[in-house]
Chain A
Amino acid sequence: MNMKNFIFTFIFVSVCISTNAQWKQSDADASGMHNTVVRRKAIDTANLRIKYAWGATDITQDSTYLDCGQLLIGQRMTKYSSWFVEVADSERVQWAKMNPHAQSVPNGTWWMRGKKPGIWSEYQYSNIFIHGDTLNEWAVMPMGQEWPQRYEEKWRGQEWTLQEDTASFLGHQCQKAICRWRGRDYIAWFAPDIPISRGPWKFGGLPGLIMKIHDVDSLYVFEAVSIEKGNFPIWQYPKEEFMKSTRQKTWKLQQAFNLNYPKTAGRRRFNEDGTIGDLISKPHEYAPLELE
């Protein structure tokens, strides 16, 4: 191997490693949301549910997903949230029913599934409601910041450029579209035969359901794994438990938790003499989906 090839190989491997090593999740602990979940309310009913695998290493095994998201198509709104979290929430509600005198319900991570069930991520613990051209994000923060936030912003979907390429997902013929959004370039595959202009997370605005979307570095990959019909309640946590905020404030707080969880959560060391010491700082690499 001559020097040129060696350098090329070194750079290629380094790029691959650095790409894979970019962090999508922090080391923040998932929140308990102890009593909030018990008072959730159904605000709409969805007849259609699309589940998405996020960050799957094997799409056929949900134990390899970072999360299984669900897009609920309701009568009045759509909601994107974590299906794993909703299953855990339902278990906690059931537990609370069986234990009516308990002061609190167990942490939802008892029932969580996926690759990292105890770790918090905003892409797993945020609920995205879209109604008309309004987007509401209800963001549950990690343990240590038990005051979740909600904000409202205008939503018109992304600015898409349609391309001619096609592929098949879940038996639906899909067309390719690309866009740049909040600092990243994305490739989406949408199904024109499913007239729902929505997708996972805050993506949408295409003439058909987004079946798969990923950024060009494939750091964030969402892929549809099922389409289900039925009557699925669209739950909303109690409004008074969520602090009204703005997107910028919420986004900054989420970045801070991802980049240095103990410091942001205000965790402090104990000195040898038993007094409370400095803030614990543990910086963490993080490459967010929304860079701006």
Chain B
Amino acid sequence: MKTKLIALTLILTATCGRTDAQTVIEGTVTDSLGKVVDAYVTVSPKGTGNIIGFADTDANGYYKLEIKTTADSLTVTASGLTIGNHVKFVANRSQRLDFKVKQQVIELKEVSIKADKIRQHGDTISYLVGAYQQQGDRVIGDVLKRMPGIEVSESGAIKFNGKAIRKFYVEDMDLLQGRYGLATNNINASDVATVQVLEHHQPIKALQDRTLTDDVAINLKLKDAAKGTVAVNTMLGGGWQQSGPWRLDSRPLSDGQTVIGSNPLWTAEVVGMYFAKRRQNMTLYKGNNTGDDVSKELTSHYSNINSVSLYPFCPTNVMLPSGAGLPQKRIFDNHSHIVTMNHLEKVGKDSEITMNIAYHNDDIRREGMSESDHFISDDSRLMTTETLTSRTHLNNLSGNLRYMWNAKDGFLANVIKFDGSWNSDRVEGLLTSQLTGPQSKNYGSERTHQHFDRPTLAVSNTTNLIKNVGKHTLDLHFSIGYAQRPNTLTVGVDSLNAEQEIFNSHDYQQDIESRHINTNFHTNYDFRFGDFTLAYGVIANASFHGIETDLDGFTPPTDESASSQIRNDLWYNTYELTLGQHYKWEHGGWRISLGCPLNLYTQTLDDRIRDDKHSYTHLLVSPNFSTSYEWRDWSGNINASYYKNVGDPGGIYSGYIMNNYRAFQRSYVEQLSETDRVGAGASIGYRSALNAMFFRLNANYSHTRDNQIYGYSYDGATSVVQAVDQATTSDSYNLNLDFSKGFDWLQTTVRAFGGYGHSHSEQLIAGNLYPFNSRTVSLGAGGTITPLPWLNFVLSSGYSWNSSWTDSGGSDLARTVRSATQRLSMNVYVTKQMTLAVSVEDNYSNLTATDRHAWFGDIKAKYKLKHCDLELQLNNLFDQRTYTRVNYSGLDIYTNTTQLRPRNILATVRFKLL
């Protein structure tokens, strides 16, 4: 019994000892200096991750853990928000365990179960990029197009709820200074967290909470992983098109119907980007001969500072084949290269320097045929047929250097801009013309050669200083610029006989040396009294146009001295001194403003050919009024304005200038041109992030009165245009509607737009005045829907009806041009790596004699590998070779036929170098 009892006691003791063995781990958690940190300590059996005990540290950093476990080893972790997790592996026995930890901020990944697709906070609307991005979307521009309320046009310009954006930021910095196409076409969509729309945006900190604006800006908020790292993306590609010579250089001009584009097709790009808190850079090269107009990315969509406008006068141009109104990639025969470097450096708390340099080189061929049916008089018309092939060389270099200090108490900016171009056009053509009616006449055929050298140079400097003085604000602005155009248009016209042999040749040469110096100074002082702001300013502007022209080969129609009729040598200068006055009342959602600048406007003309000097002075008053109201998601605006323009360089030259080889113009009349314009408009808008619904309705009216009208007369196919001292008026009415709404259901976005326009004006032809009317109605709708996780549709559809007529032109002239474009794209996500995109497009025009429907089809396959993306494009599946579009102006009919790029295949590989 005793032995039994001892055995039982031993077994019980052993069992209890096994199950109840308690491990006590105690110690302290301190930093490397021995200071206490806020932490807790957990313990789990090694390898399980399952916490079985935990304890907080006390005021001395001491902790004590008491656990019961059979595990041999334990994982003991000291954790805290400021120290992260510090892990130690120990044997399962009671012991002292001290932690000496380094302070480190825990890095947590941002996650969201389902963040709102659109959020609204005050004047900021945030779109979650991930909620709109589809598998095939590569750059942020692809995703912007899917966001309700945001509209991206063919040119790359962005509008929000019908308003053009005035600023584009990446991480709150304006690196690209208006060339935001570079960002939308190159920043990866997967690097962007949110797209913020900033309404009532005031970029000048000193004016925030002082001067309200109606401007809209966009800001891209990048993901943390995309910040502070250099990214270099590269793309290379090659292809082949159905026909076209194998030739690496550009092809010569021809007067036949030659295929657009040449083999082999190639495309390449290298894009480097860096976005950090104090420095941003975007440098890239892009080139191709595939019809992709990469120069669009260099388009500046807004100007950051009001630099002076520079436009050296030059009314001369070449006749080029007209575009067909199709997407450019179908008609563009190019060898394009662009290089740009954009750099922004923060040099202080509130200061930054930005430098932007861009170069564009292109060699562009165009080819097309146009037929025109011109109204000459009630019973005669001029019929012309013209085939043109052209080659344009472009070399554009531009740069700007900007310093900006933007602080709460002041603003200073200085911008130096440079633009230079060395461009030329060479055009070969064949023109046939015929006059119909009682005095019908066949003018036969002419072979034409045009060459236009058109270099330009422009430099400017602009300084702007804004300073707050108590509640009031002082604004000083000074800008000066110089531009020059030494241009020459040379034209050869060979008259052909019935056998197409030359029987008569005629050459014209138009030289133009045009200069423009413009300088502007304005200062403004805002007085604020409660809800009222009284703004007074002085604006001084001086503009100097120097124009020298010489036309060889043209015989003027009148008997005046021939040499004085074909030359111009004049300076046309304007001096403006304006007293600006602007009154504003802002209360609640109301804003009412009234402006009434008084402008003392002087212009001088020094015509050195005719030894004629004139000087005119006018007092111009240009009142304007605007009232707007905002209530929650609704906004409304009513505005009206009147202004008067007196004189312009296009109306002061008395010597003939060749506009093109078929148009010669002189504009001088004794009385200076005067234009009065009255305009009024109203708009109502709605935007709700909660409903993802956006809507805007605009209505505008304008009435214009000119004291001169341009009269047309014809000599064969050549028009002679002269300004005539006869008053003319025009009226226009416009109504536009934009609507878009996003649904969570099937990731759907719906858009609709509509427009109505009516205009009434007058045309002077052969001494007769013809009232001219035009009416346009346009309607469209589109959207995107993802009915299945692997299937997405994008649909756009637009219709327009255009009617033009003259009151005395006869009913046979009243025609309606109906045109429509439908485009359906289907994206199939075959696998997570593979996307197949098929698109079909129909372009319809009712006045085209044959082939009223032009169908286009494209297929694109993308395959995503670990380190690169492959893409294969098959364009113009139906191999459309020509496209004809008819335009009708009420009096004249134009038929343009354009050569198209044939069926082609293009393969590209895209990979990340860094």
Interface residues of A, Cβ cutoff 8 Å to B: 47-48, 53, 59-62, 73, 87, 90-91, 94, 97-99, 101-102, 110, 113, 162, 164, 166, 170-171, 173, 175, 192-197, 206-208, 223-229
Contacts and interface: CB of A to CB of B under 8 A. Distances in A.
Contact of B121 (A87, A101, A227): A87
A101 B531 contact: yes
A225 B113 contact: yes
A197 B55 CA distance: 11
Given A173-B49, A195-B106, A207-B54, A113 B690 contact: yes
B81 A229 contact: no
Contacts of A94: 122-123
Max count, chain B CB within 10 A of own CB: residue among A48, A61, A192, A196: A192
B239 to A, nearest CB: 42
Nearest to A173: B49
Interface string B812-853: 000000000000000000000000000000000000000000
A227 B115 CA distance: 10
Interface in B457-489: none
A91 to B, nearest CB: 7
A91 B531 CA distance: 20
A229 B110 contact: yes
Interface in B32-65: 39-40, 42, 49-54, 56
A170 B113 contact: yes
B209 interface: yes
B96 interface: no
| Most chain A CB atoms below 10 A, which of B50, B109, B111, B744 | B111
B587 interface: yes
Given A170-B111, A192-B51, 10 more contacts: A53-B113, A73-B81, A162-B54, A194-B106, A195-B80, A207-B42, A223-B113, A227-B109, A228-B110, A229-B110
Given A102-B588, A195-B85, A59 B51 contact: no
A164 B588 CA distance: 58
Interface in B80-124: 80-81, 83-85, 105-106, 108-116, 121-123
Given A48-B108, A99-B587, A227-B108, A162 B81 contact: no
A194 B40 contact: no
Nearest to B114: A60
Contacts of A59: 113-114
A197 B56 CA distance: 10
A171 B110 contact: no
B349 interface: no
A94 B79 CA distance: 40
Given A87-B121, A98-B588, A101-B587, A225 B112 contact: yes
A192 B42 contact: yes
Contacts of B116: 62
A87 B690 CA distance: 13
Interface size range on B against A: 35 or more
A110 B632 contact: yes
B530 interface: yes
Nearest to B113: A225
A229 B122 contact: no
A207 B111 contact: no
B105 to A, nearest CB: 8
Contacts of A164: 50
A131 B85 CA distance: 22
B114 A225 contact: yes
A215 to B, nearest CB: 21
B106, B690, B744: which has the most chain A beta carbons within 10 Å? B106
Nearest to B212: A98
Contacts of A170: 111-113
B106 A192 contact: no
Contacts of A175: 50-51
Nearest to A226: B112
A91 B122 contact: yes
Contacts of A225: 112-114
A226 B79 CA distance: 22
A98 B42 CA distance: 52
Interface centre among B81, B84, B108, B111 (most CB of A within 10 A): B108
Nearest to B690: A113
B122 A90 contact: yes
B689 to A, nearest CB: 11
Contacts of B81: 73, 195-196
Contacts of B84: 195
Contacts of A110: 632
Contact of A192 (B49, B108, B123, B589): B49
Interface in B219-254: 224
Contacts of A195: 39-40, 79-81, 83-85, 106
Contacts of B56: 197
Nearest to A48: B108
Nearest to A156: B56
A207 B79 contact: yes
Nearest to B52: A162
A60 B113 CA distance: 7
Interface in B148-175: none
B99 to A, nearest CB: 13
A226 B110 CA distance: 7
Contacts of B105: 47
A219 B54 CA distance: 29
A244 to B, nearest CB: 27
Nearest to A106: B632
Nearest to A111: B632
Nearest to B531: A101
23 contacts: A59-B114, A61-B114, A87-B121, A94-B122, A101-B531, A101-B587, A162-B51, A170-B113, A171-B109, A193-B85, A194-B106, A195-B40, A195-B85, A206-B54, A207-B79, A223-B113, A225-B112, A226-B110, A226-B113, A226-B115, A228-B112, A229-B108, A229-B110
